[in-house]
Structure 1
Amino acid sequence: MTKDPLVVFTPSGKRGRFPAGTPVLTAARQLGVDLDSVCGGRGICSKCQITPAWGDFSKHGITSAEGALSQWNAVEQRYDDKRGLKPGRRLGCQAQILADVVIDVPPESQVHRQVVRKAASARVIEMDPATRLYYIEVDEPDMHEPTGDVERIARALSAQWGIEKISTDFSTLALLQPILRKGGWKITVALHNTDTESPPRLVAAWPGLHEGGHFGLAIDLGSTTIAAHLTNLETGVVIASSGIMNPQIRFGEDLMSRVSYAMMNPGGDREMTAAVREAIATLATAIAQEAGIDPSLILELTFVCNPVMHHLLLGIDPVELGQAPFALATSSALNLTAADLRLTTLPASAQVYILPCIAGHVGADAAAVALSEQPDRSEDLVLVVDVGTNAEILLGNTSRVLACSSPTGPAFEGAQISSGQRAAPGAIDAIRIDPATKEPRFRVIGCDLWSDDPGFAEATAATGITGICGSGIIEAVAEMRIAGLLDSKGLIGSAEQTGTARSRPEGRTHAYLVHDGSADGGPVITVTQGDIRAIQLAKSALYAGARLLMDEMGVDKVDRVVLAGAFGAHISPLHAMVLGMIPDVPLDKVTSAGNAAGTGARIALCNLAARRQIEAEVRRITKVETAIEPRFQEHFVAANAIPHATDGFPELAKIVTLPQVAFNAGGSGEDGGRRRRRRG
């Protein structure tokens, strides 16, 4: 019997089989995929736009070939003629599923659009930008002393500013003559200086005295999100921060899936490069509009990213990063232009600085964290963990700094979780479970009230309760362990074992019911055994990476832990410790650094000396390669237990007594399941 076509939606990862001819919008609704529609599928509102992805997707076990959707129809053509559809986009209400297909739901088509949490952290940065403005008065042309406009600009800079020599960006050269004449030979020029050996480069000019400022973009190009901070290059003030989903998600949620896509699909690397560059150009325009400035005033960009994102941004096939010895095309810092990266919404002469990479799996984002947090200047031993789809980990003090990356996967971002979603209004981001009654209470993004507070239902009526995001699933699993609903091996107990009907049978395992919104047409939100396993795998990889660095340093404990990254900023230290995500330390020694990679990008944007500093520092950092280190697997297996199979976590035990329950076959789960001691 022929199976119905399989459809996989990204970035949610939800999948299902539907009869041929089923509209994509119908399939999305039945699977609970976050796809917007206001007109009810009449092809009027266009909010249900989707992008089919073509190629072999080994991660999903699917080949998505052109022809898997019905042909472009008259309704789509009418909308395209009137308002325009981006190339490759379809209307979900019109496109019908005919064969196996992968469908990407872009951020603007999602009802609950992501709240990008990569806000700029407050930081005092000494201003020494690479790009500076100079007002000059230029001699008029003289037939008796023929010289070019550029030469007279150089002469004016020498006489008025003591700048003896300049070079000129080609794209700026064509604009100089009208600017000079419009300003009556009085102009403001922007000079970009990368070092003391090369002459400054003239990258922009304005007639007369330019008082509109000049700006830079510090961009954190992550596997899942792209965040940008628009910064005034005169004051260092961040005037706008914004972010979007990385569109490469449709080619694979994690880095190795994208490398695999490039390997299996000729030209796949170019597809991913084009997608991310277009997204960055779009983000630059959007953030400029938000700040009320002309994008032409953005003269400089800094990028931090992991090695795979680094290569795909540059248009380099990442295939070598998918196999030992994980060779980078280059690990050095790069100075480019917006034209080199084809960022078409920005001035072609806008200068781009990409921070150096540390190793094949430890990228410029880890270098940026090192620049921001400076473990090399710490008197005590500090572990810095940048939590994300691919975690970067630094361990060090004034004597030595070690670095590695650990493949945690997308579970911490809410992906591969049964009720998981991105951090958006309506998503559960915090939860507490009463150890006696086993009843949960929770908080959702967009509302400060807890679910048992008066007025919660009214306050969340607009967003609804839609799912659970990364910080929410971490707290849920940890709270289940504290409340005795989950044993140390990660098994969920039955209703009889746990004493609550919220433990529901699900096949041969059990799931814990967090919220049942079915009476009002909402979702049923549970934590399943599969969710627990996904979190166990992610947290075990994180802990194992940290333990490898501790082994290399020859220590069994660290003095303090810094949680970095947009996601790390929202993790509860207590719940991270209960899970065993990080090594055992006193809770007051666990702090959040916010988006440390983004802060490092801003420091490099605003301070030329900081670029030289990090370029030197990465050469001193010792790299530990988790992919080929046999001890990684040993640490990984031991870390599968919650919190750990062999580490007693004595600091955690001072605050929380974890129930000694076991829910294997024949386990009653009644031995101590109600005991708990907890701070506050």
Structure 2
Amino acid sequence: MEKCKIIFQPEGKRGEFPPGTTILDAAREIGVDIEAICGGKLTCGKCQVVIEQGEENLSQMTEDERRLLDKRKAGKNYRLACVTRFYGDVVVFVPEESRGGEQIILKEGVEVSVTIDPAVKKYYLELPKPHLKDDLGDFERILNALREDYGIENVDIDYEVLKKLPDVLRESDWKVTVTIWNDREIIDVEPGYKAENVYGLAVDIGTTTVVGYLTDLRTGKILAIDSMMNPQVPYGEDVMSRITYAMQNPEGLEVLNKKIVEGINQILVNVCKEAGIKPEEVSEVTIVGNTAMHHIFLKIDPQYLAVAPYVPAIHRSHDVKARDIGIKIAKGGNVHVLPIEAGWVGADNVAVLIATEPYKRDEMCLVIDIGTNGEIVLGNRERLLSCSAAAGPALEGAHIKHGMRAATGAIERIRIDPETFEPEYKTIGNAPPRGICGSGIIDAAAELYRVGIVKKNGRFNLDLDTPRVRVVDGQPEYVIAWANETAIGHDIVITQKDIREIQLAKGAMCAGAHILMKEMGVESVDRVIVAGAFGNYIDKISALIIGLVPDVPVDRIESVGNAAGVGARLALISREKRREANEIARKVEHIKLAVHPDFEREFSMAMYFPHMDKKRYPRHEEVLKVRGAE
């Protein structure tokens, strides 16, 4: 009997099953956690999934299923996983609310000292009431008070604010708080004294996740944080697939833009609820993201980013009215989008730079932001070089047989005994294992290589006396957890194909770093700064063992967490940081790896653990001993 293929997004897990298998049974079989409180009795309606492809290969919807979907206001292409059977190939997206395991997303990062000087400020005014001998216009009356009380001149007023101005002034007995953006425009007028309530939202739009930070603009304090999977994930795991979707579908750009705007508005609602304020009290939003996310957010056609010479629509920072782009803050509120460096190095990398400030250091720093699309910057106060390395989703769990996001039950740490080849592992939440997340994948590769199960070239050593190493369907694999230990009822393994995916990802990052070092004329770096939520969880020694980062002393590897989010917050509370962002974005020299004459050679050498050239990693034996002594 020919089996049917099913793919679950956003994790990218896949499997083949007999025709007539329910989506829920398939999910359980391969470790995709879908909420099903009622156990498939058609009473809870929690197991909603979205059918992305293959709707014609599904069983017919029953009245009971339709009733539950209507009750939960499900949209087009929604089905209940517990009763929907597939008879051909399908692609299924599991929405956030249907996932049983809550994803762990790092929301804090490096802290930077900065003088607070936001673009948005509030001023309290008590205006003289008009009368027959003083019939000055309402707006001009405000201008006079601003000049006399605060020395502020030459400001304009937002049209929407102007429309409500007469009513607000008279209803408040001419005592109001005005919000001024960038010393040049009144973007809100509120009755009474509200000068202490100044709020902004910093948003980091990642390819996989979106994080928002509600911030007090007077103090810089974070009031609330919220995050979610990027709602564009169903349309492509990576940047190129989303650009392709926008190009190949007439409404593609509109769809992608709408999804991210809706997601940001949901984050806005969530953080405001937690802080006890209303979304319309938020005056400004700062946005960072890679160049494709930047263009899609601004509803700019991203297709030209995908073809040489990879030119973006705009390099410098850009301000746009929130209402024009659909962000539901104050009507006159502003959205500030940070500048980008190049076609494949975006505003998120600029945000990382203003957070880590390598341009203010004397030491040679390598800044690596590890994600689906990895960005690398090398330099100091004298010179900065950057490049983009297509690490792909492997390091985040996709394309790995038992890879998963960082959620409860994910194996996040692995150690292997060099004599018995038996593993020890730790899972998130200390729950029975369901799969392996990014940090566990790096650990697995490092440990398999360290103890000799995987050779320098990435191939399995099949001459070892251990049941953990075996060949299944012609492919070598290592068993990390036996079926009876897991939450999915199956062995959790690392396969030869998985190792290959890891080699490709780490090879791209390593090659990018070494090309930048060659262009800079240096053979080593003084410090490696690892940014990104994923980078924060990586074991430094494991990263050195496989050659994910250049050879440096362990204490010179610094994890700074979600530095892009920190940079977005800095731009929210500091106009000086905005100035720095525009200056640095133009100062960085971008190196295009795809056309660099040394890339193919560097990439092929970097595919080895830790590298084909031993001279590149002179401390490697020392690092292996440190791990062995742990």
Task: Please indicate the TM-score interval, normalised by the length of the shorter structure.
Answer: over 0.9
Deviation string 1:102-161 (CA, Å, 9 cap, x unpaired) is 221112211112111132433323200000111001232334443432232222212221
**2:558 corresponds to:** 591
TM-score, normalised with respect to structure 2: 0.94
The Cα of 1:565 is off from its aligned counterpart by 1.0
- The answer to whether structure 1 residue 628 and structure 2 residue 595 are counterparts is yes
**1:52 corresponds to:** 51
Distance between the aligned counterparts of 2:546 and 2:155, measured in 1? Answer: 57
TM-score, normalised with respect to structure 1: 0.88
The Cα of 1:264 is off from its aligned counterpart by 2.8
**1:369 corresponds to:** 352
Instruction: Check whether the contact 1:492–1:509 (CA below 8 A) recurs between aligned residues.
Output: no
- The answer to whether structure 1 residue 228 and structure 2 residue 228 are counterparts is no
Q: Which amino acid aligns with 1:507?
A: D
Instruction: Check whether the contact 2:69–2:78 (CA below 8 A) recurs between aligned residues.
Output: no
1:264-663 alignment to 2 at 5 Å?
264-344=248-328, 346-447=329-430, 460=431, 464-494=432-462, 497-518=463-484, 522=488, 523-648=490-615, 649-656=617-624
**2:232 corresponds to:** 248
Distance 1:530 1:570, change over 3 A: same
* SS in structure 2 at match of 1:563: strand
* SS in structure 1 at match of 2:518: helix
**2:140 corresponds to:** 151
* SS in structure 2 at match of 1:569: helix
* SS in structure 1 at match of 2:598: helix
Q: Which amino acid aligns with 2:168?
A: I
Instruction: Check whether the contact 1:119–1:241 (CA below 8 A) recurs between aligned residues.
Output: no
Q: Indicate the larger mover: 261-270 or 298-307.
A: 261-270
Q: Which amino acid aligns with 1:502?
A: R
- The answer to whether structure 1 residue 131 and structure 2 residue 120 are counterparts is yes
Greater than 6 Å deviation, 4+ residue runs: none
Instruction: Check whether the contact 2:196–2:218 (CA below 8 A) recurs between aligned residues.
Output: no
- The answer to whether structure 1 residue 182 and structure 2 residue 148 are counterparts is no
Distance between the aligned counterparts of 2:25 and 2:577, measured in 1? Answer: 52
Distance 1:148 1:74, change over 3 A: farther
**1:667 corresponds to:** none
**1:12 corresponds to:** 11
Instruction: Check whether the contact 2:106–2:561 (CA below 8 A) recurs between aligned residues.
Output: no
Distance 1:520 1:571, change over 3 A: closer
Q: Indicate the larger mover: 255-264 or 144-153.
A: 144-153
**2:64 corresponds to:** 75
Instruction: Check whether the contact 1:376–1:396 (CA below 8 A) recurs between aligned residues.
Output: yes
Instruction: Check whether the contact 1:655–1:679 (CA below 8 A) recurs between aligned residues.
Output: no
The Cα of 1:350 is off from its aligned counterpart by 2.2
The Cα of 1:509 is off from its aligned counterpart by 3.0
Q: Which amino acid aligns with 1:371?
A: I
Distance between the aligned counterparts of 2:67 and 2:156, measured in 1? Answer: 50
Instruction: Check whether the contact 1:120–1:238 (CA below 8 A) recurs between aligned residues.
Output: no
Distance between the aligned counterparts of 2:139 and 2:92, measured in 1? Answer: 52
Distance between the aligned counterparts of 2:306 and 2:415, measured in 1? Answer: 40
Unmatched 5+ residue regions in structure 1? Answer: 54-63, 194-198, 448-459, 658-675
Deviation string 1:26-53 (CA, Å, 9 cap, x unpaired) is 4323333222111123333222122222
The Cα of 1:468 is off from its aligned counterpart by 1.0
Distance 1:19 1:274, change over 3 A: farther
Distance 1:401 1:34, change over 3 A: same
**1:673 corresponds to:** none
Q: Indicate the larger mover: 145-154 or 332-341.
A: 145-154
Instruction: Check whether the contact 1:6–1:101 (CA below 8 A) recurs between aligned residues.
Output: yes
- The answer to whether structure 1 residue 105 and structure 2 residue 104 are counterparts is no
Instruction: Check whether the contact 1:182–1:207 (CA below 8 A) recurs between aligned residues.
Output: yes
* SS in structure 2 at match of 1:446: helix
Instruction: Check whether the contact 2:7–2:14 (CA below 8 A) recurs between aligned residues.
Output: yes
Distance between the aligned counterparts of 1:352 and 1:626, measured in 2? Answer: 32
**1:666 corresponds to:** none
* SS in structure 1 at match of 2:257: helix
Instruction: Check whether the contact 2:541–2:627 (CA below 8 A) recurs between aligned residues.
Output: no
* SS in structure 2 at match of 1:602: helix
Instruction: Check whether the contact 1:471–1:570 (CA below 8 A) recurs between aligned residues.
Output: yes
Deviation string 1:152-180 (CA, Å, 9 cap, x unpaired) is 22222122211123222223233333332
199, 202, 205: which one aligns with 1:215: 199
**2:151 corresponds to:** 162
Instruction: Check whether the contact 2:506–2:548 (CA below 8 A) recurs between aligned residues.
Output: yes
Q: Indicate the larger mover: 165-174 or 64-73.
A: 64-73
Q: Which amino acid aligns with 1:433?
A: I
The Cα of 1:4 is off from its aligned counterpart by 5.8
Deviation string 1:6-37 (CA, Å, 9 cap, x unpaired) is 43211121234556665433432333322211
* SS in structure 1 at match of 2:336: strand
Distance between the aligned counterparts of 2:354 and 2:219, measured in 1? Answer: 20
Aligned residues: 628
The Cα of 1:544 is off from its aligned counterpart by 0.7
Q: Indicate the larger mover: 424-433 or 255-264.
A: 255-264
The Cα of 1:79 is off from its aligned counterpart by 3.5
* SS in structure 2 at match of 1:116: coil
The Cα of 1:96 is off from its aligned counterpart by 4.5
Distance between the aligned counterparts of 1:177 and 1:43, measured in 2? Answer: 56
The Cα of 1:71 is off from its aligned counterpart by 6.0
Distance between the aligned counterparts of 2:54 and 2:185, measured in 1? Answer: 48
Distance 1:75 1:189, change over 3 A: farther
Deviation string 1:29-82 (CA, Å, 9 cap, x unpaired) is 3333222111123333222122222xxxxxxxxxx3664555665335433554
The Cα of 1:348 is off from its aligned counterpart by 3.2
- What is the percentage of aligned positions where both structures have the same residue? 41
**1:34 corresponds to:** 33
Distance 1:493 1:369, change over 3 A: same
The Cα of 1:489 is off from its aligned counterpart by 0.9
The Cα of 1:604 is off from its aligned counterpart by 0.8
Unmatched 5+ residue regions in structure 2? Answer: none
Q: Indicate the larger mover: 84-93 or 150-159.
A: 84-93
Distance 1:140 1:41, change over 3 A: farther
Distance 1:140 1:66, change over 3 A: farther
Distance between the aligned counterparts of 1:175 and 1:72, measured in 2? Answer: 51
Q: Indicate the larger mover: 425-434 or 538-547.
A: 425-434
Instruction: Check whether the contact 1:563–1:591 (CA below 8 A) recurs between aligned residues.
Output: yes
Distance between the aligned counterparts of 1:173 and 1:390, measured in 2? Answer: 44
Deviation string 1:479-504 (CA, Å, 9 cap, x unpaired) is 1111121110111223xx22321112
Q: Indicate the larger mover: 530-539 or 625-634.
A: 625-634
| Cα RMSD after superposing both structures | 2.2
